[in-house]
Chains A and B, each alone.
Chain A
Amino acid sequence: MTEISTDSAAIDLRHASFSYGGAPQLSDVTARIERGEAVALVGPNGSGKSTLLKGILGLVDVVDGEITVLGGSPREALRRVGYLAQLSEVDREFPISLRQVVTMGRYRSLGPFGWPGRRERELVDAAITRVGLAPHAHRRFGELSGGQQQRALLARALTVEPEILLLDEPFNGLDRANRSALLDTLNSLRAEGVTIVTSTHDLELAREVCTRAMLLNRTLIAFGSVEETLKLPLVERTFEGTVAHVDGHNIIPVPPEHG
């Protein structure tokens, strides 16, 4: 067992480069994310946002530099990290209820032969209530709307009682109601001291949820408080001139393929 001190940073990157084999997707990132912080990852498509999230999960190799998560290696920290994937390849026609989907989050800690007991049921119910889906708990997963499915998968990530929550473009394609429900959940988690790292295209949301922002484009462009980093020159540099609208302090980058 490795000694994990509680005063270590949530995530500590020192000149880290990540690669799926071949050229690095993202190189030379140095940043220290403290516990309880909420960080937005901002950058164009293919800039390495998802790669960084997967690097924190230990799913992408660190080919250069170093990364520690909760004081240890990403693999050691995996059980204390929750993750909400971008385009989940879940089978939406699967004959399974929302509650069963959320229960899957507990499987890891149950071991190979255990079955969910009382503690598991309580955690699952708490997570479902937290994302506001309690009335739908016994509906079939496939019958829920896309936004509700997204919230259910967030609930699944919450059942591991994560110290760090990673989200990949959580607000893509959500309607108003689901978006504000998700925002509420994230803000309450932050208030409890959960570290949140989320990638997003939406700078407005980055401002609403996050305290700090990391600008990425295949390497680290800037990392600092939201006020310092989300400024026109830096954002323009990150998006390489594809920023379309500038009005006062709202800078809304347009993803290249829609432009």
Chain B
Amino acid sequence: MGFFELAILEAALLGALSGIVGTIVVLRRRAFFTVALTHATFPGGVIAALLGLNILLGAAVFSIVLVGIMLVISRVDRQGSQVASGVVLTFGFALGALLQSLNRDMSVQVDTFLIGNILTVSPGDIAVTAGVLVLAVLCVLFAGKQLLFSSFDPQGYRLAGFRPVAIDLVVLGLIAATVVVSMPAVGSILAIALIAGPAVSARLIMRRIEWMIPLAVLFGLVSGVGGLWVSRVFSVAAGGGIALTACAIVMLAVAYDRVRQYRAERSANGGREA
């Protein structure tokens, strides 16, 4: 397979994964947490590159550390989850930038971590992405009920005798894994576009939860593969092309939603007049 075929495969796998995990992120309102985590994996990548390790491994280890720190801070009174995300996000970025500035002669350049380069992904990266995708599908199949219940009504979930901690850990793990495998391809800053975009679009269009994930996966695929094509045609950064395609789909979905609302209002008014 040529590098472009590999890139298309990675884009498709990431798109599908982002559609699934993004739906969970959007329904559980974990967007800021995800953004913080995407930014915070940057130093992990830099450290791994300095040590000559796999970048994915560095990002994975560092994201686990940072999730832990965020959980601690968010439980302290007068701090909360927003402060936790803000602190961890800036910490990650500053640490990455500092390490980067200390090692000017590093072989890996900063844009590898920040905006990624899908054209250089290795078959190994693709295998890991596929593995996380399978994991995400299994989670939705086997823990779908719990995910649904705990997202909709956290209090009721606890009162029904479930342990919210368990499902939270599953969700955090899924988000972290997705963020980490996105990094080589779309970079730590733009991953959120692919995660949030398709899910937001699907939510705007579909009023039923059963259809949200399939539609989000479809939008994720279109964003990934279409964005790659856009980047090739207009010779712009691939990560940027993918992120912009995802955002363009959101805009179309917003427009669709507006038109539908307008029609519904007009037919309601018309009905009243008749």
> Given contacts A88-B155, A88-B156, A91-B153, are A104 and B208 in contact (CB under 8 A)?
no
User: A57 to B146, alpha carbons, bound, how many Å?
Assistant: 20
> Given contacts A83-B159, A90-B152, A94-B151, are A140 and B143 in contact (CB under 8 A)?
no
In the assembled complex, the CB of A26 is this many whole angstroms from the nearest CB of chain B, namely 19
A90–B153 CB distance below 8 A: yes
A96–B152 CB distance below 8 A: yes
In the assembled complex, which residues on chain B have CB atoms less than 8 Å from the CB atom of A156?
156
Within 8 Å by CB of A104, from B149, B207, B209, lies B149
Within 8 Å by CB of A97, from B151, B162, B208, lies B208
A104–B152 CB distance below 8 A: yes
Interface majority SS (helix, strand, loop, mixed), chain A: mixed
- Cβ contacts A92-117/B at 8 Å (1 or 0 each): 00111100110011011010110100
A108–B162 CB distance below 8 A: yes
In the assembled complex, which residues on chain B have CB atoms less than 8 Å from the CB atom of A85?
155-156, 159
The reply to whether the CB of B160 lies closer than 8 angstroms to some CB of chain A is: yes
Q: Which of B153, B207, B212 has the most CB of A within 10 A?
A: B153
In the assembled complex, the CB of A94 is this many whole angstroms from the nearest CB of chain B, namely 5
The reply to whether the CB of A191 lies closer than 8 angstroms to some CB of chain B is: no
B residues engaging A (CB < 8 A)?
A: 27, 142-143, 145-146, 148-149, 151-156, 158-162, 203, 206-209, 212
In the assembled complex, the CB of B144 is this many whole angstroms from the nearest CB of chain A, namely 9
28 contacts between A and B (CB under 8 A): A59-B158, A59-B159, A85-B155, A85-B159, A88-B155, A89-B153, A89-B155, A90-B155, A94-B152, A95-B206, A95-B212, A96-B148, A97-B208, A100-B209, A101-B152, A101-B153, A104-B152, A104-B156, A105-B160, A107-B146, A107-B149, A107-B160, A107-B162, A112-B142, A112-B146, A113-B142, A140-B207, A153-B156
User: A94 to B159, alpha carbons, bound, how many Å?
Assistant: 19
Beyond the given A100-B148, A110-B145, please list 5 additional residue pairs across the A-B interface where CB-CB is below 8 A. A89-B155, A95-B212, A96-B148, A96-B209, A156-B156
Could you tell me which residues of chain A, from 61 to 91, have a CB within 8 Å of some CB in chain B?
78-79, 83, 85, 88-91
Q: Which single residue of chain A is at the shortest CB-CB distance from B145?
A: A107
> Given contacts A107-B146, A113-B142, are A95 and B208 in contact (CB under 8 A)?
yes
Q: Which of A57, A94, A95, A108 has the most CB of B within 10 A?
A: A95
B153–A95 CB distance below 8 A: no
Interface size on A, residues (CB 8 A): 27
A79–B155 CB distance below 8 A: no
In the assembled complex, the CB of A152 is this many whole angstroms from the nearest CB of chain B, namely 11
Could you tell me which residues of chain A, from 149 to 178, have a CB within 8 Å of some CB in chain B?
153, 156
A112–B143 CB distance below 8 A: yes
In the assembled complex, the CB of A85 is this many whole angstroms from the nearest CB of chain B, namely 6
User: A95 to B204, alpha carbons, bound, how many Å?
Assistant: 10
Q: Which single residue of chain B is at the shortest CB-CB distance from A107?
A: B145
Q: Which single residue of chain B is at the shortest CB-CB distance from A111?
A: B145
User: A105 to B203, alpha carbons, bound, how many Å?
Assistant: 25
Query: Lowest 9 A-B CB distances belong to which pairs?
Result: A90-B153, A104-B149, A78-B161, A107-B145, A95-B209, A94-B152, A108-B160, A89-B155, A96-B209
In the assembled complex, which residues on chain B have CB atoms less than 8 Å from the CB atom of A153?
156
In the assembled complex, which residues on chain A have CB atoms less than 8 Å from the CB atom of B151?
91, 94
Could you tell me which residues of chain A, from 109 to 148, have a CB within 8 Å of some CB in chain B?
110, 112-113, 115, 140
Q: Which of B142, B146, B149, B159 has the most CB of A within 10 A?
A: B159
User: A97 to B211, alpha carbons, bound, how many Å?
Assistant: 13
In the assembled complex, which residues on chain B have CB atoms less than 8 Å from the CB atom of A83?
159
A79–B153 CB distance below 8 A: no
Q: Which single residue of chain A is at the shortest CB-CB distance from B28?
A: A91
B142–A104 CB distance below 8 A: no
In the assembled complex, the CB of A110 is this many whole angstroms from the nearest CB of chain B, namely 7
In the assembled complex, which residues on chain A have CB atoms less than 8 Å from the CB atom of B209?
94-96, 100
> Given contacts A101-B152, A112-B143, are A79 and B161 in contact (CB under 8 A)?
yes
In the assembled complex, which residues on chain A have CB atoms less than 8 Å from the CB atom of B143?
112
In the assembled complex, the CB of A225 is this many whole angstroms from the nearest CB of chain B, namely 30
Q: Which single residue of chain B is at the shortest CB-CB distance from A89?
A: B155
In the assembled complex, which residues on chain A have CB atoms less than 8 Å from the CB atom of B154?
89
User: A176 to B143, alpha carbons, bound, how many Å?
Assistant: 40
User: A83 to B162, alpha carbons, bound, how many Å?
Assistant: 14
User: A259 to B167, alpha carbons, bound, how many Å?
Assistant: 43
In the assembled complex, which residues on chain B have CB atoms less than 8 Å from the CB atom of A107?
145-146, 149, 160, 162
User: A96 to B203, alpha carbons, bound, how many Å?
Assistant: 11
In the assembled complex, the CB of A51 is this many whole angstroms from the nearest CB of chain B, namely 15
User: A112 to B162, alpha carbons, bound, how many Å?
Assistant: 10
In the assembled complex, the CB of B220 is this many whole angstroms from the nearest CB of chain A, namely 18
